[in-house]
A = this chain, B = another copy of it.
Amino acid sequence: MVKLKDLAEKSGFSITTVSRALAGYKDVNEHTRQQIIEIALEMGYQPNMVARQLRARKTHTVGIIAPSASGRFADDYFSELLMSVGHAAAQRGYDLLVTAKTTADEMDAYRRIVGGNRVDGMVIARTRRRDARIAYLRAARHPFVVSGRAAPDEESDFPYIDADSQLGIRWILNHLTGLGHQRIALLLPPDRVAFTPYRLAGYRQGLEDAGLSYREAYVLNSDLSRSGGQQAAHHLLDNYPEITAIVACNDLMAIGAMNAIQTRNMRVGQDIAVTGFDDITAADFAHPRLTTVRQPIKEIGQRLLEMLIQIIHQIPLEQPQVLLSPELVIRESCGAGQQRKEAVSPVRE
């Protein structure tokens, strides 16, 4: 490994001069610089990043910790966010440090990464109630940004970007009720997820908009996973066969629900409508009848990183809390015309 010292010896100048020549300082003879640059090229010099980091107490790296559940590593929302943050970081000359941890040792990872000065800032992925990660980073006075607000009854006194999922779910409900649906189920994530109340609120608003009454049994909490959606859908269809539509809070759950439906020899979008949330790449074509709400994940990632870099550089943010609008994506083949009439049963309460 070739270092400054080697260039110094080869060129006859001191380490200091070599360092400054390469760094582009003006107080070095132009001829000397050329000489040194040539030697550096010739010897294939690459500055040791770790030494630089130690010296500068800056890493030019941002960290993100993947919530690694049991079976799968993370959902598509997370990996999509990861890639968009990584891309944005690369554009700004930052690298991305990824650590996968189960919820158990998650805080250890934060302490190690953040306390160990491995990164200049952190991206937190999915806000939770009384989020320990946020509490820790705030106490440590370490730069961070968050994807997703706090729950409505907590204070979102941290920089975040979020999509207005309450509005998104309400739109979905409006769409479904407009198609004649009256018995609509909702698959919610566990309560510890901060966005859960927003989506429930959107659901209730949507029912209200259509003059439908809220029925608690139609709302289920389960994992934000495929199997979570699958189990929940089976439970619903076992006990409430009158249901004609299922609204899932992320694509993975929607896919699970679709799977359950197909297993029962029913047709998605015909016998029963399914909608998702997120609409990441693959799910975009997941099913020709899957209407979803699209979260601008790419934009969220990009803007999160820009925000984070401003915080790192202590540039005051003009807008530390951003609520982006989602987008309702209605699949052509999911229109009212193709909805089986008999699938829409009248309310009898």
Residues of chain A having any CB pair with chain B under 8 Å = 1, 44, 46-51, 53-54, 59, 61, 66, 68, 72-74, 76, 79-80, 82-84, 86-87, 89-90, 95-101, 111-118, 226, 251, 255, 258-259, 262, 280-288, 333
For residue A335, give the distance in angstroms from its CB to the closest CB of chain B: 14
B residues within 8 A CB of A49? 112-113, 116-118
Check B86 against A98 for contact (C-beta < 8 Å).
yes
Q: Which of B50, B73, B76, B111 sits near A87, CB closer than 8 Å?
A: B73
Do A282 and B251 contact each other (CB < 8 Å), given the known contacts A46-B115, A116-B49?
Answer: yes
A320–chain B nearest beta-carbon distance, Å: 25
**CB-defined contacts of A112 to chain B, threshold 8 Å:** 46, 49
* Nearest CB on B from A112, distance (A): 7
A117 to B59, CA, bound (A): 13
Task: Give chain B residues whose Cβ lies under 8 Å from the Cβ of A333.
Answer: 262
State in angstroms the CA–CA spacing of A74 and B80 once bound together.
9
A44 to B53, CA, bound (A): 22
Complex-state Cα separation, A44 to B255, whole angstroms: 44
Min CB distance A265 to B, Å, is 10
Q: When the two chains form the complex, which single residue of B73, B80, B113, B286 contacts A286, counting CB atoms closer than 8 Å?
A: B286
Q: What residue of chain B has the Cβ atom nearest to residue A332's Cβ?
A: B262
Q: List residues of chain B with CB within 8 A of the CB of A86.
A: 66, 73, 98-100
Interchain CB contact under 8 A, A50 and B259: no
Contact B83 A66 (CB under 8 A): yes
CB distance from A248 to the nearest CB of B (A): 13
- Nearest first, the 10 closest Cβ-Cβ pairs linking A and B are A46-B115, A282-B282, A49-B116, A90-B100, A73-B83, A79-B79, A96-B98, A87-B100, A86-B100, A73-B87
Complex Cα distance, B286 from A288, in Å, reads 9
Asked if residues A258 and B285 are in contact (CB atoms below 8 Å), the reply is yes
Interface CB pairs A-B, < 8 A, 7? A48-B54, A49-B112, A49-B118, A50-B116, A90-B101, A255-B284, A286-B286
Judging by beta carbons under 8 Å apart, are A95 and B95 in contact? Answer: no
**Contact (Cβ within 8 A) A95 B97:** yes
User: Which residues of chain B have C-beta atoms less than 8 A from A53's C-beta?
Assistant: 50
Does B281 lie within 8 Å of A280, measured CB to CB? no
Other 8 A-B pairs with CB < 8 A, given A49-B116, A97-B97, A255-B284: A46-B115, A47-B116, A49-B118, A73-B87, A79-B79, A86-B98, A95-B99, A286-B287
